[in-house]
Amino acid sequence: MPVRPGALRLEAVHKRYGRAPEVLAGVDLAVAPREIVVVAGPNGSGKSTLLRIAAGSSRPTSGRVRGRAPVVGYLPDRFPAQLRMPAAVYLRHLAALHRENAAAATESAGELLEALGFVGSTRTPMSGLSKGNAQKIGLAQALCCSAGLLVLDEPWSGLDAPAAQVLLGRVAAAAQDGASVLVTDHTGTAAALPRARHLRLQGGELRPSPPQPNGPAPLVVVELWCPLDPAEAAAALAPFVRAAPAGDRLVLHVPVGRSDALLRAALDLGCSILSVTPAARDAPR
């Protein structure tokens, strides 16, 4: 496809860790300004590796990256487990790295955190935040830095339904304002992004995402026990599936393609996975 000036370009990018098989096997990708590219793929397919290379936090084994914007808003797939820096200090530190005005960046991040439903205190160390609140801090630093390139790794993971909708709007607005956007999504939420281009990474190669199959996707039944109030846990898992409490447990009918993301989000909430079984054909959807 023709590439407009200023586009991010990955050209014949390979990535291998040690003697293991290649994670990326000659990936070519262009993301133009005002374009949103959504990358899907199974766990372990290299999506996070691809995004780290696009953002500049990792180098390819071979190939090159060109056209990366001077300011990159990057949300990694997870934060270091022992990140003791208070959230407010983390936001100020990232604003300084992005060369943003500290007061303006703090105000912008505060507005976004309020819209996302952040609860608690920004004086809490990052390692002490829940998965959802840590995700919101990460989104605030990535989206409030006037980035020309947004690289967001599973940004809807751990968000409740209202926050997921806010994020959809902010990602779409960033692209409309001129940013190039590269995002991975295991939840299916990104399907609502307007005019996004969908790709699939598998076997180390990127291909256009095939059309959705006709008919409903196969389901699995996931039974969970969560330390949260069941209604609160159901709300937190809403981006992945419609969840309803069943006593002190949650029983969820989950599309197969979303089950890995659901299980990961449930574990991040501290839930125990009691069972995962195929759903009967007449199971509720």
224-268 pLDDT, tens digit each: 888 887 777 777 776 655 556 666 788 887 766 667 777 777 888
Q: What are phi and psi of 48, to 5 degrees?
A: -65, -35
Q: Which domain holds residue 268?
A: 219-278
| CATH label of the domain that carries residue 223 | 3.30.70.980
Q: Is there a domain that residue 214 lies in?
A: no
Look at residue 53 and give its three-state secondary structure. Answer: helix
Mean pLDDT for the chain overall: 84
Say if strands 197-202 and 36-40 run parallel, antiparallel, or are unpaired: parallel
| pLDDT the model gives residue 19 | 87
Domain tally for the chain? 2
Residue 278 has pLDDT above 50, yes or no: yes
pLDDT band at 285 (very low <50, low <70, confident <90, very high): very low
Question: Pick the residue with more confidence: 205 or 188?
Answer: 205
Reading across the β-sheet that carries 197-202, which strands appear in turn? 72-75, 149-153, 180-184, 36-40, 197-202, 205-208
211 has pLDDT over 50:
no
pLDDT in tens, 5-34: 468 999 999 999 988 889 999 999 999 999
Please tell me the predicted confidence (pLDDT) of residue 234: 74
Same domain, 78 and 185: yes
Q: Is 183 among the domain residues?
A: yes
Question: pLDDT-based confidence at 220, cuts 50/70/90?
Answer: confident
pLDDT in tens, 41-97: 888 899 999 999 999 999 999 999 999 999 999 999 887 767 888 989 989 888 888
pLDDT higher than threshold 90 for residue 1: no
What is the average per-residue pLDDT within 142-152?
93
| Domain co-membership, 50 together with 154 | yes
